[in-house]
Amino acid sequence: MIKITRLFQWTIFGVIGLFGVLGAANAIVTLAAIDRDLTRETRENSQNIAKAIADSNVDILLNNDLSTLQSRIDQMLPLLGSNGYIYITDEHNEIIAHTFVPNIPEEISTSEPTGGIIERTLKGKGDFFEVSHPILAGVGGNVHILIDQDDVSLLIQGAMGNQVWPLAITFLVAIVLGLLLVNLAARPIQQLLHYAVALAKKESVDKPQNDKLLVRKDEAGDLARLYQYFALVADPNRSGIDAK
């Protein structure tokens, strides 16, 4: 157990507070960066998948080979997490292939054509963001990718969890080290206090730690020697003091 000297109590509280503020600020900045980067990365990945489907299946669409098209989007589906969906609309905005079970959600079947990134809530399925990419500049239809926002949140939480632990451990180690350093700084003062009390009580001060204190070349040594001087001035016959 580390004992904190009264002299440095406020100092150590200040150090802990400072570390806390620094740690919290670091965590907020890091977690915000993770949230922003992973959200952006997920959306970019979705856009890339949509683009890949749109660009690589033009011939299949022009051949009206919907079973091969379905096979292709089925292969892409595992890339979208546990609850992702793909659907493809033709130039008339009619859905010609999709991965919904047991049916196409009404929010989608009745919606107007979309583009870019939008957010959707699908009844019974959750909250999604939807990424779209045109096929042949839109004249061949559009590819739509739905990513479950819960999946993204889980991904972000997982990444945050990975960051929070190192930050928390660093914070604790810093506090312990701070305490140790303050304690190290306070030790000569405590020795000086014990020496001064012994002189005042006219107790024996012939101890190895006092010898070490008296030969120190810092403020603690100067003060120890000054106390010794005052003790000898007050009582020149006092024994047990080896004037240095």
Query: Least distance (Å) from other proteins to the CB of residue 133?
Result: 20
**Closest distance between other proteins and the C-beta of residue 70, in Å?**
4
CB 100, min distance to other proteins, A: 7
Q: Based on CB atoms, which residue is closest to other proteins, 95 or 179?
A: 95
Are 89 and 81 a contacting pair, CB within 8 Å?
no
SS3 (DSSP) at 243: coil
The residue (of 63 and 162) whose beta carbon lies closer to other proteins is 63
Please identify which residue in the block is written with the tokens 């669409």: 61
* Binding residues vs other proteins (CB under 8 A): 59, 63-71, 74-75, 96-97, 99-104
Which lies closer to other proteins via its Cβ, residue 78 or residue 208? 78
Cβ of residue 97: shortest distance to other proteins, in angstroms? 6
Q: Which residue number, 69 or 213, has a Cβ lying nearer to other proteins?
A: 69
Of the two residues 94 and 242, which places its CB atom closer to other proteins in the complex? Answer: 94
Among candidate residues 40, 81, 15, 57, the one with its CA nearest the CA of residue 143: 57
**Least gap, CB of 147 to other proteins (angstroms):** 19
How many whole angstroms separate alpha carbon 133 and alpha carbon 55?
Answer: 9
Tokens of 60: 């299949």
Cα–Cα distance between 78 and 76 in angstroms, integer?
6
* Residue 93 vs 162, nearer CB to other proteins: 93
Long-range contacts of 232-239 (CB under 8 A, 24+ apart): 235/202, 238/202
Contacts of 43 (CB under 8 A, 6+ apart): 117, 129, 131, 147
Minimal distance, residue 110 CB to other proteins, in Å: 13
Contact call for residues 152 and 39 (beta carbons, < 8 A): yes
Q: Is 236 helix (H, G, I), strand (E, B) or coil?
A: coil
